[in-house]
Structure 1
C-alpha cells in the first residue's frame, strides 16, 4: 500500500499543471469524438433513405474516428511519456503515415461535399449525381489520401532523442537538407488547406450568388388572371439547409487548421528566427484535433427531426427483427403450420410505440421529400 502511494506521488510530482491539463483536455476530446461520431455512424446506418450528403457525412465520421484512434491517441501517448517513443520503428512510420491519411481524407471529402452542393444548387440540370458516382468519388478521396501520404513512410523513423542518449523519439530524420523539409511541408499545406480553401470559397461564392439571384420576386400578369400573380423563384429549402450544414462544417475545418498551418509555415521558412512557444504549439494542435469532435454536433444541430434519433435507431432494429420473424412464420404457414401471421404483424400496427414512431417518421419524411438532398 505504501509503495502504491509513493508511486502515485512520484507520478503526480512529475506531471506539471500544464501537462496534466493538456492530458485531461485531450482525453475529453477523445471521448467526445468517439461518442459523437459513433452516434452519427449508427444514426445514418439505420436510415432507410440515405441522401448524397449523408454518404459524405458518414465518411467524415469514419475519418474523424480514424483521427481519434490514431492521431489523438498517439498524441496522448507522447504527452504521458514526455515525447519518448517506445513502440519501435515500424509503429513510428505507420502512425505518422495514417495520421496524414486521415487528415487528407477528411479534407478531400470536404472538398467533394462542397462540389456536390455546388452542383445541386448551381447546375441542377448538368448531371444527375447517382449514388454510384458519389461512392466512386468518396473512394477516390480515400485512395488519393493513401497515395499522397506515402512519403511519411520514408521521412519519419525512430531515432535517439537529442536530450537523452538512452531514449528514442519518432522524428522526421529522412531529410538530407533543410530545404526538403520546407518544400514537403509547403506541399502538405497546399493540398490540405490552401487549394481546398480556394476551391471551396469559389464554389460557395457561386452558391450564394445563385441563391440570392433565384430569390428575386418576379411579377407576371396572366391573361386569364387579374390582379397580377407573383412568383418567387428560389431553391428548395432543403437544399439551402444542406448548403448551410456543409458550409458550417467547412468553416469549422478552416478555423481549426489555419492558425497551426500558418504559424508552422512561418517557423519553417524563418530559418529559426521565429519559434512557436511550446504552450502555443500545444494549444494549436489541440484546436486542430477538436475539429473532429465538432462535426457530429454540427450535423445534429442542423438535423430537424422532432423525434428522438435513438428511438428511431431502436425502431429500425426492431423492424428488421420483426420482418425476419414474418418471413420464418410465413414459410411455416405455407407448409401447413397452424401459426397465424396476424400475431406477428401486430408489432407493425400504430399501437406499437417504437414502430409507430418509425412509421410516422417515414410518412413525415415523404411529405417533406427528406430533410437533406
Structure 2
C-alpha cells in the first residue's frame, strides 16, 4: 500500500471505469417485468461486481493517492469489511449461479418450480460473504507502518501464512473446484460455459499465487518485486470486468437489450412524418 506507481493508478482508474460502466450497462439492460432465473442471478452478480468497483477499487485508488490513511480506526474497519464483503459476494454469487445451472441440467423436470431454491442460493451466497468478512473487522486497525499511518493487519509471519492460505482456499480454490465440478457435469453445454471458469482462474490466479509465494518467503524483497506485487494485487478485481462480458455481452439476448436501451437513450426523438 505504501508503493504505487503512476502506471498502477492509471490501471486502477481504467479498471474502475470498466467495472462501473460494464455492470451498470448490465443492470440497465436487464428486462423489466419479466422473471428469469438467469437474469435474477445476473442482477445479483452485477450488483456485487458494481460494489467491487465502487467500494474496493475506488477506496484503493484514494488510499494509494493519499498514501496515509485518513479514515480513522472505525473507518478502517468499515472500509475493510466492505471491501472483503463485495469481493466474496462477487465470487459466491458466481458459485451459486454455477450450482443453479447444474440444477437446471441435472433436474430439468423440477427446474421450473425451483425459484425458491434460487432465492435461497443467492441469500446463502450473501450470508456466507458477510460471515467471511466479519474477521476483517477485528483484524484491521490503524497502525504506524514505515512512519506512516495505515489501515493495517498486524500479524506474525506464520499468522500471515495461515491467513492467506485460508483466504486463498475460501475465495479461490474451493470456489474454483465447485464451479469446475458443476460445469464438468454439464457435458453438453460445457463448451459454452467453460469461459466462466477460464476467466475466473485467469483473473484470480496471479493474485493468489504471488501472495502465497510472498508470505512463504519465495519472492525477493527488492523494489522491483514490491512494484510487481503492487500491480498484481491490483489485478484482483479484474474478474468483475470479465463477468458482464461473459454473461451479458456474449449473450445475444442481452446484447439486443443493451443495443435497444442505447438506441432509446441516444437517438433523437423525431416527430412522426405527415
* TM-score of the superposed pair, with normalisation by structure 2: 0.85
SS state at 2:186 partner: helix
| 8 Å contact kept, 2:22–2:244 | yes
| Structure with the higher helix share, 1 or 2 | 2
Residues 1:273 and 1:263: Cα distance change in structure 2 (over 3 Å)? closer
Q: How far apart are 1:141 and its partner, in Å?
A: 0.8
Work out whether 1:105 is the aligned partner of 2:89.
Answer: yes
Q: Partners of 1:307 and 1:146 in 2: how far apart? A: 35
Paired position in structure 2 for 1:144: 128
| 8 Å contact kept, 2:104–2:111 | no
Residues 1:91 and 1:112: Cα distance change in structure 2 (over 3 Å)? same
Among residues 21, 24, 27, which one is paired with 2:10 in the alignment? 24
| 8 Å contact kept, 1:113–1:246 | no
Q: How far apart are 1:67 and its partner, in Å?
A: 0.8
Paired position in structure 2 for 1:34: 20
Residues 1:313 and 1:245: Cα distance change in structure 2 (over 3 Å)? farther
Paired position in structure 1 for 2:78: 94
Alpha-carbon RMSD: 2.5
Which blocks of at least 5 consecutive residues in structure 1 are unaligned? Answer: 1-15, 212-239, 316-351, 353-373
| 8 Å contact kept, 1:111–1:200 | yes
Paired position in structure 1 for 2:216: 269
Q: How far apart are 1:86 and its partner, in Å?
A: 1.3
Q: How far apart are 1:90 and its partner, in Å?
A: 1.0
Work out whether 1:76 is the aligned partner of 2:61.
Answer: yes
Paired position in structure 2 for 1:289: 237
Q: How far apart are 1:258 and its partner, in Å?
A: 1.0
Q: Partners of 1:50 and 1:168 in 2: how far apart? A: 49
SS state at 1:151 partner: helix
Bigger radius of gyration: 1
Q: How far apart are 1:250 and its partner, in Å?
A: 3.1
Greater RCO (CA < 8 Å, at least 6 residues apart) = 2
Work out whether 1:48 is the aligned partner of 2:30.
Answer: no
Q: Partners of 2:74 and 2:185 in 1: how far apart? A: 46
Q: How many residues align?
A: 260
Q: Partners of 1:309 and 1:179 in 2: how far apart? A: 49
Residues 1:122 and 1:264: Cα distance change in structure 2 (over 3 Å)? same
Q: How far apart are 1:269 and its partner, in Å?
A: 2.1
* TM-score of the superposed pair, with normalisation by structure 1: 0.64
Residues 1:304 and 1:149: Cα distance change in structure 2 (over 3 Å)? same
Matches within 5 A, 1:1-373: 19-44=5-30, 46-82=31-67, 84-125=68-109, 128=112, 130-162=114-146, 164=147, 167-173=148-154, 175=155, 177-208=156-187, 211=188, 240=189, 246-270=193-217, 274-275=220-221, 277-305=225-253, 307=256, 309-312=258-261
Q: How far apart are 1:185 and its partner, in Å?
A: 1.7
**Deviation string, structure 1 residues 246-283 (Cα, Å, up to 9, x no partner):** 5423321221111110121122123x765581221132
Q: How far apart are 1:93 and its partner, in Å?
A: 1.0
Residues 1:22 and 1:178: Cα distance change in structure 2 (over 3 Å)? closer
**Deviation string, structure 1 residues 123-144 (Cα, Å, up to 9, x no partner):** 3246655222211210111111
